[in-house]
Amino acid sequence: MSGGVERPAKFARGRSALSDRAFLIYSFGNGCSSLGLWVQRLALGWLAWQLSHSELWVGAVAFALFGPILFLSPFFGVLVDRLEPLRTAAFINVLMGAWAALLAILSLTGLLDIWLLFAVSLCIGTTSAAYAPIRLSIIPSIVPRELLANAIGISSMIFNASRLIGPAVGGAVLVALPIAAAFLINAVSYLPLVYALAHVPRRPIPPRAHQPFFAQLREGFAHAGANRYIRLQLILTAWGALFGRSILEVLPVYADRFYLAGASGLAALSAAAGGGALLAAYLTSRLVLDSRQLQLGSILLGVVNALALLALPLWPGLWLGLLCIGVVGFGSTGSAVLSQTLVQTEVADSVRGRVSSLWGMASLGGSAFGGLVLGGMLYLLGISAATLATALAALLLPIAAWRTAWRAPHEAPVEVAEPVEDPSEPV
């Protein structure tokens, strides 16, 4: 920032990341995979509820899907900084497709009970823990720096467009076809992404020093802790995922028990969350913000998320639920996009995989653990009291963190549309 004067937030009008051939190829494959993923996630949540009719089991399956990220993601982050990310991502997506195919086979043969569903979900979650830091490192490895913020926003838009369409497709599948069809759709959806990862043009990767494994692990934690933006953002992301976004992991309970709307209600609520998330991803992808503004925006949207949760238990009408869940999707996704953009902008390429793994651990692992906690609270307190307690907790840290973020010094905006001198320099 020249002259110490803060530049206001603005919308970018320059080159889109989709003009980059590598990102375009990746986005097509990623869109297909994301659509299949949301079809499967809807089916898994509904199947867990149908097999158990237990809030605890629904939360446990959600935790199995994302909980391993809490414990394994930092270790996989070290491996990401040692391996070529695109080829590794292709291998992991082949494995994810195999897990989806296994679920389809077990469902068709009638062998799938709640314990086996939990076990396979845990395998999927462990594989996802390996993929999380790699996924977060793919975009910086294929697009130049000046397109990074726009590319992250577009990638989030694609993911959340799938989040809007996928539940509708999944709901139709649950009503008209055996649930195994949902798992089969997801298995097939990985093929375009694997093809894209194998053919996308790569940016040159600078040589990296080989250090002992645990020394590299400590270096990633040290880098995140030394940067004030990354440090606070990781804490805020974990807190928001734990209390603000965890409701999205137990939507089957709300759809069937609170709104009495069954599978069609679950599909509608999931689509509402996807619609709000898609709008947030579009708006945030167009913004040009400095690091301070990214952090303040992330905090503000976390407050919006919590306020929507406060309103949700006021009346058990599905229309109010759709509105509130849509705002939850908007607030949580907008906050996450700004948070990820801030972290990816502040981190150095040499530790990107390790720091990305910490962000994934905070975001996905926090949401999974939050689903487990909220499932227990729903069981013990009932829906209204548990939702209210979660909403109040979601408000606490953002309000406390606002003052710290507001006092941070102003810095140059993260430009989306204007080129930098050397797009291959560390971010």
* pLDDT tens-digit readout, 333-353: 888 888 888 887 787 767 777
- Residue 34 sits in a domain of what CATH number? 1.20.1250.20
Q: Please provide residue 267's backbone torsions phi and psi, each rounded to the nearest 5 degrees.
A: -65, -40
More confident residue, 220 or 414: 220
Evaluate whether residue 6 is within a structural domain: no
Question: Is 55 a domain residue?
Answer: yes
Q: What angle do CA 167, 169, 170 make, to 5 degrees?
A: 60
Q: How far apart are CA 100 and CA 17, in angstroms?
A: 31
How buried is residue 172: exposed, middle or buried, by Cβ count under 10 Å (0-12/13-18/19+)? middle
**pLDDT mean across residues, the chain:** 79
Residues 91 and 104: their CA atoms lie apart, in Å, by 20
Residues in the chain, overall count: 427
pLDDT at 17 over 80: no
In a domain, 2, yes or no: no
User: Do the domain assignments include residue 342?
Assistant: yes
CA-to-CA distance for 401 and 81, rounded, in angstroms? 31
Is residue 251 within 8 A of residue 266, CB to CB? The reply is yes
pLDDT tier at 422, thresholds 50, 70, 90: very low
The DSSP symbol for 125 reads: H
Q: For position 62, what pLDDT does the model report?
A: 81
Q: Report which residue type is found at 134.
A: I
Q: What is the pLDDT of residues 215-240, one digit of tens each?
A: 777 877 887 888 888 888 888 888 98
Please count the structural domains in the chain: 1
pLDDT for res 15: 67
Residue 11 phi/psi, 5-degree rounding, is -95, 135
DSSP assignment, residue 423?
T
Domain assignment present for residue 149? The answer is: yes
pLDDT higher than threshold 90 for residue 79:
no
* d(C-alpha 61, C-alpha 411), whole Å: 43
Q: How far apart are CA 346 and CA 344, in angstroms?
A: 6
Whether residue 11 is contained in a domain is answered as no
Q: What is the pTM (predicted TM-score) of this model? A: 0.68
**Residue 291 belongs to what domain range?**
18-202+213-414
The verdict on residue 26 lying in a domain is: yes
More confident: 410 or 343: 343
Residue 9 inside a domain? The answer is no
Coil, helix or strand at residue 1: coil
